[in-house]
Amino acid sequence: MKGVWNKVLKIDLSTKKAEIVPVNDDVYKKYNMGLGIATYFLYKETEGKIDPLGPDNVVVFSPGLFVGTGVPTGSKSAMTFKSPLTGGFGRAMVGAYLGVEMRKSGVDAIIIKGKSDKPVTLKIDNEHVEFIDAEEYRGLDSILTQEKLREKYGKTYRTCAIGQSGENLSKISGIDFEERQAARAGGGAVFGSKNLKAIIMKGDKKIDFANPEKLKELNKKWVNIIKEHPATKADMDYGSGEFYEWMNKERGTFPSRNWQWGYFQSVYDNLKEGEKSHIDPYYWSPKYTVRHHPCPTCTKPCGRIIEVKEGKYAGTKVDGIEYEVLYSLGGVLEIDDVEAVAKMNEICDREGFDAISAGVTIAWAMEAYEKGLLDKDKMEGIELTFGNADAAIEVLKKMAKREGYIGKLLADGTKAAAEKLGKNSDQFAINIKGLELPGYDVRGIKGMALALAVSVRGACHLTAGVYGIELGGSWWKYKGIDRLSSDWKGFEVKAAEDLATTYDIFGLCKFSRHMYFLEGMPELNNAITGNDIIDADVMTIGERVYNLQKMFNIREGIDRKYDTLPYRVTHNPIPKGVSKGAYVSEEELQHMLDEYYMARGWSKDSTPTAIKLASLDLLDVVDESIAAGI
């Protein structure tokens, strides 16, 4: 097939051997690239119930089909693994320059298994792999490690690395790709468990496109559409947190103070006319932005490097601050000091933490501390109260090292911490399946509550990404959506998940989903591959890949019982603001789940039926005996 290499690279860290494995066209037609083949190979190369931190776990990395082809915002690569945090399907998408090198390397994915006896860096030149001793980088932060590797081997290599949190097997650690993170679900710990510190890669081949002229013409068209789109300027000037103020004032769905509040009450109740919250990008972006920091081939970069030049956090320089971080290291900790948030963001990136999980875990600890549930004698003098940024910074550093009582308690996220502490502290542990919730107060966004409850990787906002549909009330084919109703949400979430999956297959950034929608994808695919698919085919590929991810979880025993919401969402209504009184009752959740499984063609316990799997042509991969029905 054109546009792909029909080959993957398998690497065994135990034996230090690498082999090229041919892949036939049928696999690409069924799964395409990116998250598609990364899901397929993860499923095939692992068995159920393996130890996620053992040598049998597998990491697959594959760039989306549009990566390296000049498609604007075709920048994302997929990483899959069994998640040590959730015990289920682990996925992290990242705007990786390393993915662009892989697209030029002669292979479509790398599949890493085994465990090295010593810290190792993989150096990959096209299809050739070297195993390099990484002892000298042990304990170094992820960004410094990559800088040193590029200094030593040359700037043409593109890189990724883990920081201390990954080395210390923190289940909320991710992998840094030149200041973009494959953050969620604990991939950093999987790298750490394999003694894999870093990967550097360079490719110098040219992808053979089916119709290069057409591709050039389409790319030009999309660059213009994106340039003219009304959202582009706002994204470029203020980043992904552009709608922060509106979330607080008009929707009341910006969770704060560990979800005790539905908007940032202590800030917004005291602002005078014309004043802004200090974590509002309209306040900080013009002040601190040094330059844009785009993902590969992004023509509407939301990413920016910001720098704090004065004050006690002077010297802080970080790619950010994204919307989610305004929540996880800002509102949920009750911190409205943007310089402190930037500092914590920098620590998370360098030490290798998923900034959402790390922040929400500290918020849990702040609530536990204020409730008197933590052992104050062992806190080493840290007053971990809401709003205390310096305490949060200190705790974050301890978490990376797994140091002291508090560092050890928090290093693996809220689920592990609440289990260790007991005392009903799980009632304010904000996670689903172990993964901490993103910055949408789903008590007032019920379709989004369903999306988080059912997502295969735990509380993930981008598996379906319905927050825009729910909060705006309309988008693409959706109209008249009522965020406070629990009706018809199953159908909404199902279609949105399948569509979002296709973005992760092609490697398109979801921040351009209101530009490409679904309709933009087939002709780009066809110009690259020479296949002739239509929009319905694209949705089917998305649905197929999503069902295979679900089957990964079913193989692990993760079924309906795990499709839940945090206690706070089902029991504590939003106390104040526009969404006052909103929460998701247990009945509403069950109603939405029933409808969602029906829309999906799954059984009541959430298992895909044999008919569904057959219709998606998945029975050659999955074991039919674990399917439902007949």
Partner 1 sequence: MKIKVYGILKRYVGDRDYIKIDIPEPTTVADLFSKAGIPGKYVFIVEKNGKAITKDITVNNDDEISLIPFISGG
**Contact set with partner 1 (CB under 8 A):** 229-231, 233-235, 237-243, 245-246, 249-250, 273-274, 282, 302, 322-324, 438-440, 461-462, 465, 467-468, 471-474, 511-514, 578
What are 562's two structure tokens? 């795990």
C-beta of 228: minimal distance to partner 1 in Å? Answer: 9
Nearest-angstrom CA–CA distance, 28 and 26: 5
Q: Where are the beta strands (DSSP E) in 416-458?
A: 431-432, 435-436
C-beta of 323: minimal distance to ligand SF4 in Å? Answer: 11
What are 426's two structure tokens? 């799980």
Nearer to ligand SF4, 293 or 398 (CB): 293
The amino acid sitting at 534 is: I
Nearer to ligand SF4, 43 or 511 (CB): 511
CB 276 within 8 A of CB 283: yes
> Which residues in this chain contact ligand SF4 in the complex, by CB under 6 A?
73, 75, 95, 294-295, 298, 300-303, 509, 511
C-beta of 96: minimal distance to ligand SF4 in Å? Answer: 10
C-beta of 321: minimal distance to ligand SF4 in Å? Answer: 13
At CA 276, angle to CA 271 and CA 281, rounded to 5? 150
Beta-bridge partners for 158: 201
Residue 298 touches which member of ligand SF4, partner 1, none, C-beta under 5-8 Å by kind: ligand SF4
CA distances from 483 to 312, 360, 382, 443, 479 (A): 42, 24, 40, 10, 12
Residue 73 touches which member of partner 1, ligand SF4, none, C-beta under 5-8 Å by kind: ligand SF4
Nearer to partner 1, 129 or 279 (CB): 279
C-beta of 352: minimal distance to partner 1 in Å? Answer: 23
Nearer to partner 1, 30 or 513 (CB): 513
Number of other CB atoms surrounding residue 133 within 10 Å? 12
Nearer to partner 1, 467 or 546 (CB): 467
* Residue 309 DSSP label: -
Nearer to partner 1, 62 or 285 (CB): 285
C-beta of 468: minimal distance to partner 1 in Å? Answer: 5
Residue 243 touches which member of partner 1, ligand SF4, none, C-beta under 5-8 Å by kind: partner 1
Residue 440 touches which member of ligand SF4, partner 1, none, C-beta under 5-8 Å by kind: partner 1
CB 474 within 8 A of CB 282: no
C-beta of 234: minimal distance to partner 1 in Å? Answer: 4
Residues in the chain: 630
Strand arrangement, sheet containing 304-307: 289-292, 304-307, 317-319
Of 206, 17, 5, give the one whose Cα is nearest residue 129. Answer: 17
Nearer to partner 1, 33 or 471 (CB): 471
Rg (CA), the chain: 23
C-beta of 337: minimal distance to ligand SF4 in Å? Answer: 25
CB 183 within 8 A of CB 163: no
What are 241's two structure tokens? 């947190």
C-beta of 301: minimal distance to ligand SF4 in Å? Answer: 4
Q: How far apart are the first and last CA of the chain?
A: 37
Residue 233 touches which member of partner 1, ligand SF4, none, C-beta under 5-8 Å by kind: partner 1
Residue 467 touches which member of ligand SF4, partner 1, none, C-beta under 5-8 Å by kind: partner 1
What are 145's two structure tokens? 């490690």
Residue 301 touches which member of ligand SF4, partner 1, none, C-beta under 5-8 Å by kind: ligand SF4
Which residue has 């999906």 as its token pair? 600
Nearer to ligand SF4, 257 or 300 (CB): 300
Contacts of 251 (CB under 8 A, 6+ apart): 444, 445, 471, 578, 579
Residue 324 touches which member of ligand SF4, partner 1, none, C-beta under 5-8 Å by kind: partner 1
What are 336's two structure tokens? 């409205």
Nearer to partner 1, 300 or 350 (CB): 300
Residue 119 touches which member of partner 1, ligand SF4, none, C-beta under 5-8 Å by kind: none
| Run of H or E including 218 | helix 212-228
Q: What DSSP assignment string belongs to 361-413? A: HHHHHHHHHHTT-S-GGGSTT----TT-HHHHHHHHHHHHHT-HHHHHHHTTH
What are 370's two structure tokens? 């204020």
C-beta of 295: minimal distance to ligand SF4 in Å? Answer: 3
C-beta of 73: minimal distance to partner 1 in Å? Answer: 11
C-beta of 95: minimal distance to ligand SF4 in Å? Answer: 4
Residue 241 touches which member of partner 1, ligand SF4, none, C-beta under 5-8 Å by kind: partner 1
Residue 323 touches which member of partner 1, ligand SF4, none, C-beta under 5-8 Å by kind: partner 1
- Segments in 241-304 forming alpha helices (H): 244-246, 265-268, 281-288
Nearer to ligand SF4, 298 or 459 (CB): 298
* 393 upstream amide cis, omega within 30 of 0: no
Nearer to ligand SF4, 248 or 297 (CB): 297
Nearer to partner 1, 101 or 245 (CB): 245
